[in-house]
Amino acid sequence: MHPAFSVIGFTVASGAGYGLFILLVLAEVYGFADIDVPVALSSGLLALVLISGGLLSSTLHLANPKNAWRAFFRFRTSWLSREGVFAVLFYPAALLYLIGVYVNDAQPNGLVSFVGLSAVVIALATVFSTGMIYGCLKTIRQWNTALTPTNYILLALATGSVLLVMILAFADKDINAMAGIAIALLALGAIAKAIYYFWVRTVTGPTINTATGFTRAKVRLLDTGHTAGTFLTQEFGYQAPMSLLTQLRVVVFALGFAVPAALLAFMILGLPSGLVALVGVVAMFAGIAAERWLFFAEARHVINLYHGAQHT
């Protein structure tokens, strides 16, 4: 699949935003980090900026954005529609929660916690829907797996947790518990990603034989029937060199998981500097962007079978 930068930017940024908001609420409600009003408001604002920027970026790949408002009405069947509805529902819950925290001076309060936890549920539903947009496609075996929404949720939580540690570090708060959680989430994300990379190597599903119906003999493409590229070759024919894919996997694990986890570990051991956390965040976003690019570049649509691929 052709990796569209608007979609990569959207999934990485809004995923991190939802993850940050989820961990902010959980940290405040269950008290595993020292969340005061400035920390809550700056985290909440950063989360909303990331989410909104991501959602706006996602409209860039629409060919006819003037009809985008119609995208909320197919909630019953379309994951894209569900994602849109949850994304919109998230805003009032999130804003109410932040106002509640501000008014209540970040003290534990049943009503505020309830609103916050509702926002958490909606945020999780949004990220799950984002994953299912890809996970529900039977035409792309690399995506059509429960590993896809799992990956989206785990990476959203991991990126969000590292962002929250950064904010806590800049606010001179105790980061130990949050950094520990962030390391655990990074490890979980890395394990899930590793499982995905092993799983995706096994070829299953349609082949050129079932695509053409000639299952008793070898089938080779003689002629595609067109002299230049078509919509199908542009949208689905993207192929990156194998060496680049392998190198990017190293980047994903090194920058996306290992470097931020190592920096967080140093911070726990007594280097509680906001700048260290910022370096971790930058490395992590580079790694996760590479992960998302690979997610698209490695996905092979079954239409490639008609263009000569033996399997997807």
Q: Are 166 and 23 in contact (CB under 8 A)?
A: no
Q: Are 311 and 203 in contact (CB under 8 A)?
A: yes
DSSP assignment of 60-112 equals: GG-S-GGGGGGGGS-TTT-HHHHHHHHHHHHHHHHHHHHHHHHHTTT---HHH
User: Does 297 participate in binding other proteins (rule CB under 8 A)?
Assistant: no
Q: Output DSSP code: residue 59.
A: G
User: Does 242 participate in binding other proteins (rule CB under 8 A)?
Assistant: no
C-alpha distances in Å from residue 150, one per residue of 33, 145, 154, 175: 26, 9, 6, 26
Binds other proteins (CB under 8 A): choice among 62, 111, 146, 244: 62
Binds other proteins (CB under 8 A): choice among 214, 247, 273, 275: 214
User: Does 236 participate in binding other proteins (rule CB under 8 A)?
Assistant: yes
For residue 78, how many C-alpha atoms fall within 13 Å in the half-sphere facing its CB? 11
Among the residue ranges 18-26, 179-187, 261-269, 295-303, the one whose residues contact other proteins (CB under 8 A): 295-303
Q: Are 16 and 256 in contact (CB under 8 A)?
A: no
State the binding string over 143-182 for other proteins (x if CB under 8 A, else -).
----------------------------------------
Among the residue ranges 8-16, 20-28, 103-111, 228-236, the one whose residues contact other proteins (CB under 8 A): 228-236
Q: How far is the CB of 209 from other proteins (least distance, A)?
A: 9
For residue 120, how many C-alpha atoms fall within 13 Å in the half-sphere facing its CB? 16
Among the residue ranges 88-96, 191-199, 222-230, 238-246, the one whose residues contact other proteins (CB under 8 A): 222-230
Which residues share a beta bridge with 311?
Answer: 207
CA–CA gap between residue 56 and residue 226 (Å, rounded): 36
CA–CA gap between residue 312 and residue 309 (Å, rounded): 7
Q: How far is the CB of 311 from other proteins (least distance, A)?
A: 12
CA–CA gap between residue 174 and residue 20 (Å, rounded): 17
User: Does 310 participate in binding other proteins (rule CB under 8 A)?
Assistant: no
- Say how many residues touch other proteins, by CB under 8 A: 56
Binds other proteins (CB under 8 A): choice among 93, 157, 211, 277: 211
User: Does 307 participate in binding other proteins (rule CB under 8 A)?
Assistant: yes
Task: State both tokens at 238.
Answer: 């993207």
Q: How far is the CB of 66 from other proteins (least distance, A)?
A: 8
Binds other proteins (CB under 8 A): choice among 41, 96, 188, 219: 219
C-alpha distances in Å from residue 256, one per residue of 162, 251, 252: 11, 7, 5
Which residues in the 1-60 window bind other proteins by CB under 8 A?
1
User: Does 202 participate in binding other proteins (rule CB under 8 A)?
Assistant: no
Binds other proteins (CB under 8 A): choice among 104, 109, 176, 210: 210
Which residues in the 243-282 window bind other proteins by CB under 8 A?
none
Among the residue ranges 14-22, 88-96, 206-214, 262-270, the one whose residues contact other proteins (CB under 8 A): 206-214
Q: Which is nearer to other proteins, 58 or 151 (CB)?
A: 58
Token pair 């130990």: residue: 176
Task: State both tokens at 261.
Answer: 């986890």
User: Does 107 participate in binding other proteins (rule CB under 8 A)?
Assistant: no
Q: At what angle do helices 274-297 and 242-251 cross, to 10 degrees?
A: 150
Binding site for other proteins (CB under 8 A): 1, 61-68, 70-74, 77-81, 84, 133, 136-140, 205-206, 210-214, 217-232, 235-236, 301-303, 306-307
